[in-house]
């Protein structure tokens, strides 16, 4: 896995560069040149400009204020030469608080006490795509959610446009599976657009069982029971033979 450094924006990053360089004109030489840090309020203007370039959705100003200042969000930036070239924004919340369209992600029995991670945004500057930046950010989130302290988080999910093939390919490559189709989920420039829900199960989480899953489960139980019965029958047979041999020996029926 790629190595990276987390640092605070207000302290100097481990770089020899002392001035900011336009990332559109700087080739990314190595993933090791990228630092990760959490967003701070001073990032609001830069992040807002980037999101307006990257995403077709118009987020309100309050959303940018929240992700750059509230500890409610896991908002991580990938920085290269002091410029933000990628970011991921996620939220951890109780499963019982997810929207209606996402209620089928976990079984009801598991969902009563489980949390889920929801990826609100993941984007990389156009000039730095296909360099592993998106994977670096997603790995940081996955590592954060698979610690012992976050064991209650049983799934990570997200929504994406059905037409966003690069995002779909990226998430499927990272073991996210298609969960549901959401017709007219997005309102983009006054037009309804369809969406997909993708899910990655972690920390022992799993989707609700289907009828086929129940059949497989009970078939496995029957096979296990049959094997157990065969084992017990064999043991009983051995005991009977031992007892019979001792009985014959006692009454001198065999030499």
What residues act catalytically? 118, 159
Helix, strand, coil % over all residues of the chain, rounded to 5? 40, 25, 30
- CB atoms inside a 10 Å sphere around CB 64: 18
Rounded to an integer, what distance in angstroms lies between the CA atom of residue 83 and that of residue 118?
26
- List the structure tokens of 44: 């609001």
Is residue 195 within 8 A of residue 186, CB to CB? The reply is: yes
Rounded to an integer, what distance in angstroms lies between the CA atom of residue 199 and that of residue 207?
9
| CB neighbour list of residue 123: distance below 8 Å, 6 or more residues apart | 50, 51, 54, 55, 86, 87
- Per the listing, tokens 């309102």 go with 187
Query: What secondary structure does DSSP assign to 186-231, as a single string?
Result: EEETTEEEEEEEEEEE-TT--PPP-HHHHHHHHHHHHHHHHHHHHH
Helix (H, G, I), strand (E, B) or coil at 70: coil
Over its C-alpha atoms, the chain yields an Rg (Å, rounded) of 28
Rounded to an integer, what distance in angstroms lies between the CA atom of residue 248 and that of residue 126?
88
- List the structure tokens of 200: 């990655």
Helix (H, G, I), strand (E, B) or coil at 211: helix
- Per the listing, tokens 């700087």 go with 26
């Amino acid at each position: 896995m790629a190595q990276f450094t987390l640092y605070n924006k207000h302290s100097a990053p481990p770089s020899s560069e002392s001035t900011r360089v336009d990332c559109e004109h700087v080739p990314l030489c190595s993933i090791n040149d990228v630092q990760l840090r959490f967003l701070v309020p001073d990032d609001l203007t830069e992040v807002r400009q980037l999101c307006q370039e990257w995403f077709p959705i118009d987020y309100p100003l309050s959303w940018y204020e929240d992700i750059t200042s509230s500890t409610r969000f896991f908002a991580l930036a990938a920085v290269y030469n002091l410029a933000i070239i990628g970011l991921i924004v996620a939220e951890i919340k109780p499963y019982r608080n997810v929207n209606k369209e996402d209620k089928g992600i976990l079984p009801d029995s598991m969902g009563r006490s489980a949390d889920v991670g929801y990826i609100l945004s993941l984007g990389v500057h156009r000039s730095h795509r296909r360099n592993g930046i998106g994977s670096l950010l997603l790995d940081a989130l996955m590592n954060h959610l698979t610690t012992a302290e976050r064991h209650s988080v049983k799934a990570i999910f997200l929504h994406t446009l059905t037409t966003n093939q690069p995002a779909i390919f990226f998430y499927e490559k990272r073991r996210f599976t298609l969960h549901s189709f959401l017709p007219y989920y997005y309102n983009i420039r006054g037009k309804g657009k369809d969406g997909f829900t993708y899910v990655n199960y972690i920390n022992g989480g799993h989707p609700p069982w289907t009828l086929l899953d129940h059949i497989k489960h009970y078939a496995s139980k029957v096979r296990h029971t049959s094997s157990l019965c065969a084992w017990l029958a064999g043991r009983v047979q051995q005991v009977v033979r031992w007892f019979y041999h001792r009985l014959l020996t006692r009454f001198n029926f065999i030499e």
